[in-house]
Amino acid sequence: MMFWYDHDVGGWGWFAMSAGMILFWALVITVAVLTGRTLDSSRQHPRPPAAPTPEGILRERLARGEIDEEEYRRRLSALHAGPLTKP
């Protein structure tokens, strides 16, 4: 009886299987890395910048030279005195 198919894989068959296996594992690794990066970036929520406090704004203005030390102390004591109330 004559067999038309030899049941063996030739040289090109081995090459195709090897290339397919390499491509398969490259795809699996790529998907895993991209999934990990996506999950990691979703866990890191950037915090919004904190609103500057009135004291901080005064310190910055003093540091920039917009107000002098006397003006700084006067405004700082006004801030600590509390809100002004109308009589």
Q: What is the pLDDT of residues 28-62, one digit of tens each?
A: 999 999 999 888 876 776 677 788 899 999 999 99
Q: Is residue 69 part of a domain?
A: yes
Which DSSP letter does residue 3 get? Answer: -
Asked, for residue 47, whether it belongs to a domain, the answer is: no
- For the chain, the domain total comes to 1
25 within some domain: no
Q: What is the pTM of this model?
A: 0.41
Q: Is residue 87 situated within a structural domain?
A: yes
Q: Which of 74, 44, 47 is nearest to 61 (CA)?
A: 74
77 assigned to some structural domain? yes
Confidence at residue 3, expressed as pLDDT on a 0 to 100 scale: 55
Domain that residue 77 falls in: 52-87
- pLDDT tens for 2-36 read 556 666 667 788 888 999 999 999 999 999 999 99
**CB distance 17 to 9 below 8 Å:** yes
Please report whether residue 11 resides in a domain.
no
Q: How far is CA 23 from CA 34, 35, 45, in A?
A: 16, 18, 35
8 inside domain: no
Contact assessment for residue 56 and residue 73, using Cβ atoms and an 8 Å cutoff: no
**Is residue 59 in a domain?**
yes
Q: With 70 as the cut, is the pLDDT of residue 87 above it? A: no
Distance, in Å, from the CA atom of 84 to the CA atom of 87, rounded to the nearest integer, reads 9
